[in-house]
Each structure stands twice: as structure tokens, then as C-alpha cells.
């Protein structure tokens, strides 16, 4: 019997060969177009993994609407894997999915059981998400319900896998809200979610981190993530780190978006990440086409190849990100040995607190800010076991300041031109109506 393809083994072999795996966030409702997107991804001049990104109806569990859209031939913003039959999805994957081209299902669901059932029925065993990271930013599902749903999802992924397969689950924890969240919380959440996955049967995981505002701080975060994974995950668990190209407000110019993508590829290589989730030059304007996704993959691969070998690992013991993230992880693990109980309790007590997150179960007492050097720091920490930066008191965050912070990365990579235009429009509106912010 042929051994089923393993997502984790593919990334590990690629890393051993010195090749960064690049992956799109591509998803289309039409099976023919989805197959074409996968085929083009596989044929790209890059070392790629494939993606089936799920549509919004399926993400929120409205399977009736997803099925109706499929029946009507309506255009969807992703692949409705739970609305299509397993036979249809297997046809999409036929002669594409394999040991040299693994495919991951990406979704965004706090209750992912139907998605996991559908992907395993189609012969897939790699997906991503998490009980915290796919709950707090995406809706109002109670955190305890999300945690219980993810316990069931882990079991479904493990028991539904083909004989000999090694299911893979990636934490989305490093991407909480995408921006203005100091890296230590992103790192800690990713570590905690992967520990949750492992305690519920997974033996292959990946830990995510989204590129933020300062390249040096990002490198510290990626190295801290890798080190903490080694310290907290059991020996023998297959793992790698995955970096996301910046998830916040994207540059509006093609030149700026390309520069940002290339910077993320160099960061991934420099810090030893095994995989990079790319974004396209169209992100600020619309859903990207297949051509635009392929162009982004090839641009990232070329930048990674030119970056050379990864930098030699450094001792992260004194890294601020490492120390803060470790304090958060230990605080949560100290609440209860069962993370299904510890994670909700951590948010109830404020030991975890996501800035700018409006979910009812998030305490909402923390606040991040960008310091003059461009690093993300804590202005307020609430009840988290961290110290706030007193420099934040000198410049309290206003609506205008928040707008500037949100566009910090986009303005830098656009070269300032787009930011100057945006600020001019903003100031003109304020002059016309002082209450406009």
C-alpha cells in the first residue's frame, strides 16, 4: 500500500533541502476553477503546497446557504467543501494532491466539525485554525463552545485519517486580528493551541506567526516561537513554523505590495521558518485571481532563493518576546492541566487579552502601540503577567493615531505617497466636520 502524503513530512524534507515552501490562500466555489488554481499552484516556479480555502457560508456553519449557492451556481468567496460531495472534491484533487504536492484546507470556523468530516472524506488530512484563534476574531461564538468543538474536530481529524496517514493541524494563533498585537501574545497563543492539538491526538503541527511592523522584532518572535515549541511540545511531535505575509492594512501600490511580500520571504528564510503564506498585490483592492496568486508565489520563491542560507540561530534567552511569551504560556498552563479548561479560564481572568478584539469573552483591557522605532509594545496589559511600556503614557492613542498605526506598514512599503494622500483626505474631512475621525 502506498503511504499517504504527509503535509508535515513534505515541509520537513523541503527544509532539509534548503527550500522554503510557499502557499497561497486560494479558494473558489466552482470545482473546475478550484482545480485549475491547484494545478497552476503546483506548476508554479516555486516549491509549493496547495490550498482549498473555504467560503464564508461554510465557515459560519450555514451549510444550507452553501448548498443553495452551489445549486444556483452562485459565485462564492471560497470552496464550499461541506456542500460539494466527497466525489466532487476528490475529482478536484485527482492527480494533483500527492507526496510532492500536499493540500491544506483553510477555513476560519469556530465550529469546524462539518469541514473536518468533509476534508477527511475527500482523502485530505491537513487543515488549520484553533479554539482561540478561530473564535475571538471571527464572530461571537462563546469561547467554551469553540473549545469543545475543536476537541471534537481534533478527534475527527485523527480518527478520519486514512491508514498510515499523519494528520496535520496548523495553529492560526500567530495571526490574532492580524495587526497591532505585540508579538508575545501571538507566539504564546500559537504555542498553547499546538499543545492543545497534541493533547487531543495530533502528532504533526505547525505554529504560525504573522509578519508585523518591525523586521528585527519579527525575527525575535519567530525564533522565540521555535524555541518555546521545543520546550513545551512533547518530543517526537513533528512541527514547523509558518510565517504569514503581513495580515493588516496592505499597501495599495503594486510596488509596495511586492516589496512587502519580498521582505516576508527574506524574513522567513532568515529566521528558519519552513513555510510562508503569501499575499498578492491585489489584496488591498479585491479577491486575487489565479494568475495573481501564482505571481505572488513565484515572487516570494525568488526572493527566498536570493536570501541565501538561514542565519545562524542565536540564544533567545534575553529576547523580550521570548520572556513575555513564556510568562503567558506558563500562566495559562498553571490554571489547569486540561487546556480545554485552562484556555477559557485564562480569558475569564484576563491572563490572555487580545488588543482591539470585541468578542464578548475577551477582557478588552489590553492595548498595543507602535513605538518610535516601529516595534509593537504594550500600552496596557490588564491582568496579563506582563509590564506595560510607560512610553505609551506620553502619547495616548486617539482615533487619528489609531488610523496612522493601522496604516504604518502600508505607508512604509508604499514609500509614503499613498499615506500622504490618505492623511490629506483625513485632515480635510476633519476640517469639514471636527467629529469625523
Q: For residue 115, what is the domain's CATH number?
A: 3.20.20.240
| Reported pTM | 0.92
**Residues 301, 417 within the same domain:** no
Q: Are strands 275-277 and 103-106 parallel, antiparallel or unpaired?
A: unpaired
- Tally the domains of the chain: 2
Question: Which among 260, 284, 306 is the end of a domain?
Answer: 306
CB 437 within 8 A of CB 401: no
**Residues 277, 417 within the same domain:** no
Distance between CA atoms of 71 and 372, rounded to whole angstroms?
Answer: 53
Q: How many CB atoms lie within 10 A of CB 263?
A: 19
- Find residue 205's DSSP bridge partners: 169, 239
Longest CA pairwise span in the chain (Å): 72
For the segment 15-44, the average pLDDT, to the nearest whole number, is: 96
Half-sphere exposure of 301 (CA within 13 A, CB side): 19
Q: Is residue 319 part of a domain?
A: no
**Residues 424, 296 within the same domain:** no
Residues 6+ apart with CB under 8 A from 176: 132, 133, 136, 137, 185, 186, 189, 354, 357
pLDDT tens profile 122-135: 999 999 999 999 99
Is 399 a residue whose pLDDT tops 90?
Answer: no
Distance between CA atoms of 103 and 254, rounded to whole angstroms?
Answer: 28
Residue 367 DSSP SS3: strand
CA angle 136, 26, 221 (to 5 degrees): 50
For the segment 128-146, the average pLDDT, to the nearest whole number, is: 94
Is 424 a residue whose pLDDT tops 70?
Answer: no
Residue 391 DSSP SS3: helix
**Residues 267, 411 within the same domain:** no
Is 26 a residue whose pLDDT tops 90?
Answer: yes
Q: Are strands 204-210 and 238-244 parallel, antiparallel or unpaired?
A: parallel
| pLDDT tier for residue 417 given thresholds of 50, 70 and 90 | very low
What mean pLDDT, rounded, does the chain reach? 91
**Residues 261, 409 within the same domain:** no
Q: How many CB atoms lie within 10 A of CB 395?
A: 12
Q: Are strands 238-244 and 275-277 parallel, antiparallel or unpaired?
A: parallel
Domain that holds residue 35: 7-306
**Residues 265, 406 within the same domain:** no
Distance between CA atoms of 392 and 192, rounded to whole angstroms?
Answer: 28
**Residues 163, 62 within the same domain:** yes
% the chain with pLDDT above 70: 91
CB 21 within 8 A of CB 49: yes
**Residues 71, 179 within the same domain:** yes
The lowest-confidence range among 21-25, 170-174, 383-387, 406-410 is 406-410
Q: Is residue 387 part of a domain?
A: no
* Residue-level pLDDT at 281: 85
Residue 202 φ/ψ, nearest 5 degrees: -80, 145
Q: 420 or 206: whose pLDDT is higher?
A: 206
**Residues 39, 185 within the same domain:** yes
Closest CA to 204 of 229, 223, 173: 229
Question: Which among 306, 339, 372 is the end of a domain?
Answer: 306
Q: Following DSSP, what letter does each residue of 297-365 receive, concatenated?
A: HHHHHHHHHHT-SPPPP---TT-HHHHHHHHHHHHHHTT-S-HHHHHHHHHHHTSS--TT---TTS---
3-state DSSP helix/strand/coil % of the chain, to nearest 5: 45, 10, 40
**Residues 290, 406 within the same domain:** no
For the segment 378-406, the average pLDDT, to the nearest whole number, is: 86
| pLDDT tier for residue 288 given thresholds of 50, 70 and 90 | confident
Q: Is residue 207 part of a domain?
A: yes
pLDDT tens profile 199-251: 999 999 999 999 999 999 999 999 999 999 999 999 999 999 999 999 888 88
**Residues 175, 65 within the same domain:** yes
Question: Which among 306, 338, 370 is the end of a domain?
Answer: 306
Amino acid at each position: 500500500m502506498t503511504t499517504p502524503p504527509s503535509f508535515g513530512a513534505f515541509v520537513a524534507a523541503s527544509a532539509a533541502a534548503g527550500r522554503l515552501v510557499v502557499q497561497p490562500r486560494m479558494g473558489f466555489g466552482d470545482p473546475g476553477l478550484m482545480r485549475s488554481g491547484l494545478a497552476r499552484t503546483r506548476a508554479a516556479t516555486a516549491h509549493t503546497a496547495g490550498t482549498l480555502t473555504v467560503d464564508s457560508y461554510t465557515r459560519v456553519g450555514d451549510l444550507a446557504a452553501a448548498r443553495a449557492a452551489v445549486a444556483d451556481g452562485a459565485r462564492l468567496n471560497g470552496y464550499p467543501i461541506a456542500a460539494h460531495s466527497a466525489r466532487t472534491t476528490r475529482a478536484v484533487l485527482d492527480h494533483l494532491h500527492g507526496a510532492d504536492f500536499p493540500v491544506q484546507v483553510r477555513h476560519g470556523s469556530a465550529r469546524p466539525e462539518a469541514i473536518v468530516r468533509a476534508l477527511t472524506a475527500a482523502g485530505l488530512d491537513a487543515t488549520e485554525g484553533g479554539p482561540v484563534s478561530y473564535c475571538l476574531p471571527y464572530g461571537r461564538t462563546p469561547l467554551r463552545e469553540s473549545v469543545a468543538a475543536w476537541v471534537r474536530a481534533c478527534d475527527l481529524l485523527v480518527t478520519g485519517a486514512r491508514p498510515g496517514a499523519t494528520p496535520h493541524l496548523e495553529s492560526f494563533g500567530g495571526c490574532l486580528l492580524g495587526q497591532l498585537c505585540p508579538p508575545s501574545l501571538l507566539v504564546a497563543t500559537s504555542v498553547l493551541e499546538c499543545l492543545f492539538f497534541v493533547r487531543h491526538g495530533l502528532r504533526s503541527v505547525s505554529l504560525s506567526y504573522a509578519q508585523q511592523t518591525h523586521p528585527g522584532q519579527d525575527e525575535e518572535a519567530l525564533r522565540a516561537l521555535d524555541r518555546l515549541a521545543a520546550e513545551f511540545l512533547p518530543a517526537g511531535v513533528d512541527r514547523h513554523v509558518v510565517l504569514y505575509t503581513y495580515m493588516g492594512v496592505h499597501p495599495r501600490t503594486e510596488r509596495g505590495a511586492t516589496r512587502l511580500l519580498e521582505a516576508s520571504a527574506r524574513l522567513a528564510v532568515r529566521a528558519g521558518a519552513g513555510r510562508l503564506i503569501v499575499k498578492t498585490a491585489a489584496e488591498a483592492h479585491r479577491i486575487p485571481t489565479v494568475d495573481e496568486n501564482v505571481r505572488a508565489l513565484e515572487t516570494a520563491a525568488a526572493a527566498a532563493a536570493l536570501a541565501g542560507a538561514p542565519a545562524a540561530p542565536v540564544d533567545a534567552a534575553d529576547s523580550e518576546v521570548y520572556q513575555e511569551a513564556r510568562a503567558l504560556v506558563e500562566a495559562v498552563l498553571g490554571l489547569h492541566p486540561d487546556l480545554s479548561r485552562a484556555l477559557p479560564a485564562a480569558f475569564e481572568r484576563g491572563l490572555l487579552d487580545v488588543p482591539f478584539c470585541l468578542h464578548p469573552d475577551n477582557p478588552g483591557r489590553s492595548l498595543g502601540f507602535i513605538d518610535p522605532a516601529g516595534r509593537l509594545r504594550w500600552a496596557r496589559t490588564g491582568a496579563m503577567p506582563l509590564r506595560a511600556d510607560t512610553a505609551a503614557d506620553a502619547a495616548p492613542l486617539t482615533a487619528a493615531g489609531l488610523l496612522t498605526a493601522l496604516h504604518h506598514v502600508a505607508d512604509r512599503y508604499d514609500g509614503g505617497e499613498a499615506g500622504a494622500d490618505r492623511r490629506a483626505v483625513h485632515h480635510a474631512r476633519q476640517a469639514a466636520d471636527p467629529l469625523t475621525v
